[in-house]
Every structure is written in C-alpha cells, then in structure tokens.
Structure 1
Amino acid sequence: MKAMADNPKTANAMPTLEDWQHWTLVMGRAQQMLMEFWAEQVKQGQAMPAWSTPAFGFGEQGPASGDPMALMSAGAQAWAKGLETWGKMLGGVTAGAPETERKDRRFSAPEWSENPIFDTIRKTYLQISDQLLGTVDDMEGVDTEMREKLRFATRSFVDAMSPSNFALTNPQVLKRTMETRGENLLKGLGNMLKDISSGQLTQTKSGAFEVGRNLAMTPGKVVRQTPLYQLIQYTPTTPEVMTTPVVIFPPWINRFYILDLTPEKSFVKWCVDQGIS
C-alpha cells in the first residue's frame, strides 16, 4: 500500500477534488450554453429541419424498401464483421491488416493504429461503411439516377458517423481535451451553436476578408448592371489586348470572386496579365 502511495504515477492517476470541481464547471458551462441557445431558438420560433427519408429512397415507397430481407442480411453481415474485429481485439489477437491499407486522412494520427482500442474502432467503422455502401451498389431493380441518390445519402450518413467526428472516439480530441482541461470542447461547442444560429458554416473569422481589400483585388469596373447580373471589365495590364474578350461566368454560389481570390490565386489576374480583356 505504501509503495502504491509513493508511486507518483499512481497518485497522479487519481483525480483530485480540484479536478472534479474543474470538470464539473466545464460541464455546467456547456449545459448553460446549450440551454441559452435553445431558449433563443424557441423565442425566435426556429424549427429544426425535417428529414424526408422517402426523398432518398428509404421511405415506404422508396426502392430501398423493395427488398427488406436484403437490407436485414446486409446489416447482419456488417455487425458480424464488427463483432469479429472486436472479438479479436478482446481476445488479444491483432486483426490482420487488409491487403491494401487505404489512405484516409481522418485516421492519419498514429493513435488510430497504435492504440488497440482506437484501431479496432477505426476498423469496425470502415468495415460497416464498406458494407453499407456495397449494399446500395448491389440493390436490384434500381435505376442509375436513384442509385446515385441512395449512394449520396448513404455516403453522407457514413461520413457523418465517422468516429473522428465524436470527442469520445477521437484520440486526438481526447488528448487535446486533457491538455486544455476541456476548454477546447467549450470553444468548439460555442462555434457550433454560432454556426447553427447564423444558418451557415464558418471557416474563418467574421470580417477577416473584405472584397477589394484582401479579396478580389484585381482592378476593374462595372460596365453593365441588370437586376440579374453585373458585368465587370478588368483593367488591362499589357500594352496590347486581344480583340475578342473572354466572358467568365463564375459558379452559381453567389461568390463572384471565387476566380479572383488573391493575386497568387486569381484566374482573373492571370487572364489580364496574358493580354486577355
């Protein structure tokens, strides 16, 4: 007993009262953030979007319901493979690596393969993912267009359920959580709630970019404007320009500057520098 008490590793393994108080505070702050968010949503009358399964072929009239036995069989096979992987791990047997190990940046951290628990979680997820996608490919009586819709919906579901997306099954997140004592989770939760409130995902700070200042800086002017579009003619930078101009229709994402980000990443500037009007 004395040896265990004198062992610094054993002593550090037991959380102190201060640790319990800290993590209780973290959980309390997270709960408060969620309550304030939902209270604001209710006050604004916001409703959660409905999930229309028939639109993806999984409803009562969808093609995926045509062969329920095939779906049940596929599900059973997926779980059987998962249980086999976990059985090998629990029995101390290392599951054999596939002949060609896939490259997946979601699982690029060494913990995903070096830690037996996370390695098993990763392999189980990949096996079930392959089984689900394979089931869509093997469905009979489904036309090409519907099969693509089913595969898109299945792929979206599979990607969303990746263990890398959940804190408790992501070794990198767990490591960072211990390093920051939970502050990373609170920051992430705050960012998520802010994105939900604004109705769009953000990848940069608000106001970090401004058109004309550090975005879409190629000089030009609007030469025609209608209710549907603005026609921009960019200022030439060469002594001579081509007689026939090039008209560029940017992607329909309401971001005309996608082809004129920065001078180093601007297709528009490149065209102007080539003498294209």
Structure 2
Amino acid sequence: PRPYQPQQPQQPEFPSPPMAMRQVSLQAVKHAECPICFEKLHVAPCGVFLDESGRRVSPDYYNLEAAREWLRTGNGHCPMTRRPVSAVREVPDLSKDPDGWFEVVDLDGDGKLSRAEAISALKAQLPLDNAALDAALVDPQHTMWRTWDADGSGSIERSELLAPNGLAAYVRRTFEAAQNKTAIPDMRTDKAGWYAYWDEDGSNSLEKEEVVRALIKTLGLSRDQKQVFAMRSTVDAIWPIFDADGSGSIERDEFLRPGDGLADTIIATMQHG
C-alpha cells in the first residue's frame, strides 16, 4: 500500500472577476486601497464580504462603509468574485480582539495563517511601506516572517500570534510608532535615533533596500533620479564590507559601531562625495 500523505489545506477558489474589474483590483491591491472607493484602507475600518454561511467570498478587503453601501444599494454580489454576498463583517483591531481578527483573516478556515493571509491583512490595516510587506510575502526567510513564524512551520498559529515578538506585538509597535513619529533624526548627531526611526518592524536589522530608501527620504532626493541613482550606487559600493555573509541585511550594532560602522562610513562618503 502507498504510504499515507496528509492533504495540504487548499486555499478556497474564487471565480475570476471580469478583466476590467481585475485590473482595478490589481491597482487597489498594489496601493492597499479599497477596490470600491479607492480610499487608502488603513485610514478607516475595513470590512470583508460574507456569504450565507458566514464564509468570506473573496480574499479582498474593503473600506467598511463603502462595502456596507455596496450591499445597501442592492449589489448582492461581490465586486471582485461576483459570488453572492449576504453580509459585511468588520475586520477587528488585532491589538484589541486578536481572536476575532484571526478568525476573519483565516481565509480558508484551517486554523492558521499563511503568509498571504497575514500580510494582505496587515497591508489593509497598517500605515506601512507596502514594499516591505511585499518582500516578506515572497520571501519565507524574510526577517519579519521568521520572527512571526517562530516554529518555522510556514504559517502562524494562534499561539504565535500572541507571542512576545509575534504579530500582535508587531502591530502594537507599528501603531505606536506611527502615532509618535516625528521629524527624521539627523544621522550625523543621532545615529541610534535614525536607525530606530527606519527600523519599522523592530527587527534590529535593516536590509539594503531599506537603507537606500531611508537615505533617499532623509536627504529629500526622491524627485532627483540622478541623486537617487548616485545614492543607490554609494550604498551598493560599501555594502559588501558590512554584509560579509551576503544576507542582504545589516544588524544594529554593525550600523552603529563607532568609527568603522555603516553609519559613519555613509556619513564620511557623503561628506567627501
């Protein structure tokens, strides 16, 4: 007899929306916006559409009021999947109702959260750089994901959700940082403050693209593509000195080390550039 092989839980299959609506969806997802009203999702409560059995009819998130209005005006089908919709459920605040949040975000109901399930919810609810979350979505070895998925199973169980360094703690830190965020510290006089400001996930590690982005924003170079290219080239040139293992990230102590740390090297390079 063939050896027993456990079945992997299947993500629910949703009908494909019309092509025009699919393009709208892709744009909305890219910018973490509501596919109905195109408002940024994180600025207001989010909702999801449910069928008669109380299951979600699509993986998408919506502005809660826009979703309720959609249903009130007689649109009885999901705008993305065209499946019948019976109700709208508000997505709970993870920091206040982690069990309720987990239940809504667990799209396939298997009792654990995949990278796609967890990160799509975070993009809908957190005022973060979506590129950082997208990086964690495609890379199972990403620092953020490895911190949340403590046992390395590839998914987040309820126990991991509430762990000291788990996803719920990350959300609390992120909201606190967003509320308390002030001017960008001057790296020349406050290297530790500058590092903490840009270490948005609290991992004590910055990847190269995070450093490049932080420097470009710190120095106000975004509108000058030549300066952007020059900054990227500068970081590319000095990065291998500090990232000896080729991991693509720099630890906090490597960044802050006096004299020959990455921060002082960047400062010296800019002063003599």
| Alignment TM-score > 0.5, same fold | no
Structure of greater relative contact order (alpha carbons < 8 Å, 6+ residues apart): 1
State the TM-score, normalizing by the size of structure 2. 0.21
State the TM-score, normalizing by the size of structure 1. 0.21
